[in-house]
Amino acid sequence: MKIPVSFSPSERTEWRRISKAMRAAGLDPSARASLLADFVLLESRIASLRASENAASGKARLAAARATNIATMERRRLHRELFRGAKVPKPTGPKPTTEELSAQEKQRQADDAWVEFLREHAGESQSPHLAALEAAMTAKYGDVSWTVLCERWPA
């Protein structure tokens, strides 16, 4: 796929940048070469329109602003068409280790046990029996987590 000869050096750079982005998205830039050329030319046209908008005043400035807005809308449309059907990258966060997964599962089990305990004994007055049950829960699962107290209780 050849870059059009009439392109300026900055337009050639933009062509290469967009082509590279398209290939990274799993698209063939040569299949959409005319759209790509229109997009690159529109980029430089928008830059010149912005410069003339900044230099103008009064009605001329309004006309330049309208032209800039229309060109921007066209650029968005071309961008959408250029990248239609592109593969969406999967999130690439670090995968949790086996130890982290084990700790999360252990915490979920503890939270479930605490929620069940709190629901079962809701409304009971403090008694030595309830204090002993709570001590046994604390010994087995640790202190009740804030997740249980704030998010899961009462539910």
**Sign of the C-alpha dihedral, residues 88, 94, 99, 105?**
negative
**Structural contact between residues 64 and 53, judged by C-beta atoms closer than 8 angstroms:** yes
Separation between Cα atoms, residue 134 and residue 126, nearest integer Å = 11
Residue 4 pLDDT: 86
Separation between Cα atoms, residue 15 and residue 9, nearest integer Å = 10
Q: Structure pTM?
A: 0.55
Separation between Cα atoms, residue 85 and residue 81, nearest integer Å = 9
96's CB contacts (< 8 A; 6+ apart) are 104
Q: What is the mean pLDDT of each run of 10 residues along the chain (155 residues)?
A: 87 93 90 92 93 93 94 95 84 85 91 87 78 90 85 63
Residue 26 is encoded by which pair of tokens? 């799993």
- Domain segments of the chain: what residues? 9-82, 98-152
Residue 154 pLDDT: 62
Residue 152 pLDDT: 64
